[in-house]
Amino acid sequence: MRTKRFICVIALVSLIYITSASIIVKAHNPADVGLEYDSNSELLVVTISHGVSDPSSHYVESVSITVNGSLMLAESYGSQPSSSVFIYMYNITANDGARIQVTAICNVGGSKTGCIIVGTGRCNQAGGIPAYSGILMILGFSTIILSMITYKNIKKRLN
Protein backbone atom coordinates (compact mmCIF):
# COMPACT_ATOMS: atom_id res chain seq x y z
CA MET A 1 0.00 0.00 0.00
CA ARG A 2 2.82 2.41 0.88
CA THR A 3 4.61 1.62 -2.37
CA LYS A 4 1.49 2.51 -4.32
CA ARG A 5 1.17 5.80 -2.45
CA PHE A 6 4.85 6.52 -3.02
CA ILE A 7 4.46 5.96 -6.76
CA CYS A 8 1.45 8.31 -6.82
CA VAL A 9 3.40 11.03 -5.00
CA ILE A 10 6.37 10.66 -7.36
CA ALA A 11 4.05 10.76 -10.38
CA LEU A 12 2.35 13.93 -9.07
CA VAL A 13 5.65 15.68 -8.34
CA SER A 14 6.98 14.67 -11.77
CA LEU A 15 3.84 15.99 -13.46
CA ILE A 16 4.21 19.34 -11.66
CA TYR A 17 7.89 19.45 -12.60
CA ILE A 18 7.25 18.71 -16.28
CA THR A 19 4.41 21.25 -16.44
CA SER A 20 6.60 23.92 -14.83
CA ALA A 21 9.44 23.14 -17.24
CA SER A 22 7.17 23.59 -20.26
CA ILE A 23 5.99 26.97 -18.94
CA ILE A 24 9.62 28.08 -18.61
CA VAL A 25 10.37 27.10 -22.20
CA LYS A 26 7.38 29.09 -23.44
CA ALA A 27 7.81 32.13 -21.18
CA HIS A 28 11.30 33.44 -20.75
CA ASN A 29 12.80 36.76 -19.96
CA PRO A 30 15.05 38.61 -22.41
CA ALA A 31 18.56 37.14 -22.36
CA ASP A 32 20.47 40.42 -22.31
CA VAL A 33 20.02 44.19 -22.26
CA GLY A 34 23.14 45.95 -23.51
CA LEU A 35 23.55 49.69 -23.13
CA GLU A 36 25.71 52.35 -24.76
CA TYR A 37 25.40 56.04 -23.99
CA ASP A 38 26.85 58.90 -26.04
CA SER A 39 27.08 61.99 -23.81
CA ASN A 40 27.65 64.35 -26.76
CA SER A 41 24.46 63.41 -28.61
CA GLU A 42 22.60 62.34 -25.42
CA LEU A 43 21.67 59.11 -27.21
CA LEU A 44 21.10 55.85 -25.34
CA VAL A 45 21.43 52.75 -27.54
CA VAL A 46 19.69 49.70 -26.06
CA THR A 47 20.47 46.29 -27.56
CA ILE A 48 18.00 43.62 -26.41
CA SER A 49 18.48 39.88 -26.93
CA HIS A 50 15.16 38.03 -26.76
CA GLY A 51 14.95 34.93 -28.94
CA VAL A 52 11.38 34.04 -29.88
CA SER A 53 9.69 32.07 -32.64
CA ASP A 54 6.98 34.67 -33.37
CA PRO A 55 7.87 38.29 -32.48
CA SER A 56 4.27 39.41 -32.95
CA SER A 57 2.87 37.14 -30.22
CA HIS A 58 5.88 36.78 -27.86
CA TYR A 59 7.86 39.99 -27.55
CA VAL A 60 9.34 42.67 -25.33
CA GLU A 61 6.21 44.62 -24.47
CA SER A 62 7.79 47.47 -22.57
CA VAL A 63 11.07 49.20 -21.89
CA SER A 64 11.53 51.51 -18.92
CA ILE A 65 14.52 53.77 -18.38
CA THR A 66 15.58 55.23 -15.04
CA VAL A 67 18.39 57.67 -14.39
CA ASN A 68 19.68 57.68 -10.81
CA GLY A 69 16.48 55.92 -9.74
CA SER A 70 14.06 58.38 -11.35
CA LEU A 71 11.86 57.12 -14.18
CA MET A 72 12.78 59.05 -17.32
CA LEU A 73 10.92 57.11 -19.99
CA ALA A 74 8.55 54.16 -20.36
CA GLU A 75 7.75 52.82 -23.82
CA SER A 76 5.20 50.12 -24.73
CA TYR A 77 5.39 47.93 -27.82
CA GLY A 78 2.99 45.54 -29.62
CA SER A 79 5.74 43.38 -31.12
CA GLN A 80 9.50 43.28 -31.39
CA PRO A 81 11.48 44.17 -34.54
CA SER A 82 13.20 40.78 -34.91
CA SER A 83 13.06 37.25 -33.54
CA SER A 84 16.37 37.52 -31.68
CA VAL A 85 18.43 40.72 -31.24
CA PHE A 86 17.18 44.24 -31.85
CA ILE A 87 18.11 47.83 -31.04
CA TYR A 88 16.10 50.75 -29.69
CA MET A 89 17.49 54.29 -29.42
CA TYR A 90 16.32 56.89 -26.92
CA ASN A 91 17.20 60.54 -26.26
CA ILE A 92 18.11 60.68 -22.58
CA THR A 93 19.93 63.41 -20.66
CA ALA A 94 22.43 62.11 -18.10
CA ASN A 95 25.60 63.58 -16.57
CA ASP A 96 28.90 61.76 -15.99
CA GLY A 97 28.52 59.33 -13.12
CA ALA A 98 24.76 58.96 -13.61
CA ARG A 99 23.39 55.44 -13.27
CA ILE A 100 21.13 54.50 -16.18
CA GLN A 101 19.02 51.36 -15.81
CA VAL A 102 16.89 49.89 -18.57
CA THR A 103 14.36 47.13 -17.91
CA ALA A 104 12.89 45.14 -20.79
CA ILE A 105 9.70 43.22 -19.92
CA CYS A 106 8.44 40.24 -21.93
CA ASN A 107 4.69 40.11 -22.62
CA VAL A 108 4.59 36.39 -21.75
CA GLY A 109 6.64 36.65 -18.58
CA GLY A 110 9.97 37.75 -17.20
CA SER A 111 12.19 40.79 -17.47
CA LYS A 112 15.85 41.73 -17.75
CA THR A 113 17.59 44.86 -16.55
CA GLY A 114 20.75 46.39 -17.96
CA CYS A 115 22.74 49.08 -16.25
CA ILE A 116 25.47 51.54 -17.18
CA ILE A 117 27.22 54.34 -15.37
CA VAL A 118 27.81 57.28 -17.69
CA GLY A 119 31.51 57.78 -18.31
CA THR A 120 32.66 54.53 -16.68
CA GLY A 121 30.67 51.70 -18.27
CA ARG A 122 28.56 48.84 -16.99
CA CYS A 123 27.30 48.66 -13.42
CA ASN A 124 28.07 45.77 -11.14
CA GLN A 125 24.85 43.86 -10.73
CA ALA A 126 24.40 40.97 -8.36
CA GLY A 127 23.55 37.70 -10.07
CA GLY A 128 21.16 35.11 -8.80
CA ILE A 129 19.02 32.16 -9.68
CA PRO A 130 15.93 33.16 -11.66
CA ALA A 131 12.70 32.34 -9.79
CA TYR A 132 11.48 29.62 -12.17
CA SER A 133 14.87 27.90 -12.19
CA GLY A 134 15.05 28.06 -8.41
CA ILE A 135 11.62 26.46 -8.04
CA LEU A 136 12.57 23.71 -10.49
CA MET A 137 15.82 23.06 -8.64
CA ILE A 138 13.98 22.76 -5.32
CA LEU A 139 11.38 20.44 -6.84
CA GLY A 140 14.09 18.31 -8.44
CA PHE A 141 16.16 18.00 -5.25
CA SER A 142 13.03 17.31 -3.19
CA THR A 143 11.99 14.54 -5.56
CA ILE A 144 15.43 12.93 -5.42
CA ILE A 145 15.63 13.10 -1.62
CA LEU A 146 12.08 11.81 -1.19
CA SER A 147 12.82 8.96 -3.58
CA MET A 148 16.00 8.02 -1.72
CA ILE A 149 14.29 8.05 1.70
CA THR A 150 11.36 6.00 0.46
CA TYR A 151 13.64 3.53 -1.31
CA LYS A 152 15.63 2.99 1.90
CA ASN A 153 12.41 2.49 3.91
CA ILE A 154 11.07 -0.03 1.39
CA LYS A 155 14.41 -1.85 1.31
CA LYS A 156 14.45 -2.08 5.15
CA ARG A 157 10.94 -3.54 5.24
CA LEU A 158 11.79 -6.16 2.64
CA ASN A 159 14.86 -7.34 4.59
pLDDT tens profile 61-114: 999 999 999 999 999 999 999 999 999 999 999 999 999 999 999 998 889 999
Task: Identify whether residues 124 and 138 lie together within a single domain.
Answer: no
Continuous segment of H or E residues that includes residue 18:
helix 2-26
Quick one: 111 and 156 in the same domain?
A: no
Q: How many CB atoms lie within 10 A of CB 52?
A: 20
Domain holding 137, by residue range, is 1-28+130-159
- Domain co-membership, 46 together with 122: yes
The closest alpha carbon to 123, from 112, 136, 113, belongs to 113
Position 49, amino acid: S
User: What's the predicted TM-score (pTM) here?
Assistant: 0.64
Q: Tell me how far apart the alpha carbons of residues 74 and 63 are, in angstroms, rounded to a whole number.
A: 6
CATH code of 68's domain: 2.60.40.10
Same domain for 48 and 122, yes or no, is: yes
Query: pLDDT digit string (tens) for 136-154?
Result: 677 777 778 887 788 788 8
Same domain, 54 and 123: yes
Same domain, 77 and 108: yes
Distance CA 84, CA 12 (A): 36
- The CA-atom distances, in angstroms, between 134 and each of 103, 111, 127, 130, 143 are 21, 16, 13, 6, 14
Q: Does residue 27 carry a pLDDT above 60?
A: no
Same-domain pairing of 44 and 93: yes
DSSP classification of residue 31: S
Q: How many domains in the chain?
A: 2
Together in a domain, 102 and 158 = no
Please indicate, yes or no, whether residues 67 and 123 belong to a single structural domain of this protein. Answer: yes
Question: Smallest Cα–Cα separation from 146: which of 39, 9, 31?
Answer: 9
Question: Alpha-carbon distance 53 to 59, whole Å?
Answer: 10
